[in-house]
Amino acid sequence: MAEAVARQDAADVIQAASAGLFPLGHIERMTIHTLACNGYSSKGLTSKAITEKAWASAKLVVNMSGRQSDLVFPDQIKVEDWQVQDPYGADEAVYQKILDDIVERVNALADRLREQPST
């Protein structure tokens, strides 16, 4: 969900690419439904693992895995931890609540990035 939100709401400052530690291999139907109901496209979203190349090229990695980032990621300087509930298997209301949380977080991150001086 965060990738879809960032692509639409923050494309000027975030080049979003989602990857997971334990990807499902598909995008959940309820994720697609919740995104669509809120005006976000799921086109191009995939469930994939984070690669060494993706890690190396990222300036910022948002960790929503629920795992302690210092145990998972080698370079803590570029990791930001977000405690976001995993909606897998939940009902529509839970998906909506989580999307609302993610929208708020993505937009706050985008605002912070917009305030940084250009390099």
Q: Which domains does the chain have, with CATH numbers?
A: 2-115 (3.40.50.2300)
pTM, whole model, 2 decimals?
Answer: 0.90
Q: How far apart are the first and last CA of the chain?
A: 29
Angle at 102 between CA 12 and CA 73, to 5 degrees: 85
Q: Where are the beta strands (DSSP E) in 25-78?
A: 61-63
Q: What confidence tier does 66 reach under pLDDT thresholds 50, 70, 90?
A: confident
The residues, any chain, with a CB within 8 Å of residue 53's CB and separated by 6 or more, are: none
**Distance between CA atoms of residues 3 and 14, nearest Å:** 9
81 class by beta-carbon count within 10 Å (0-12 exposed, 13-18 middle, 19+ buried): middle
**Distance between CA atoms of residues 45 and 59, nearest Å:** 20
**Distance between CA atoms of residues 10 and 46, nearest Å:** 19
Token duo for residue 44: 């191009």
Tens of pLDDT, residues 4-53: 999 999 999 999 999 988 888 899 999 999 999 999 999 999 999 988 89
pLDDT number for residue 98:
97
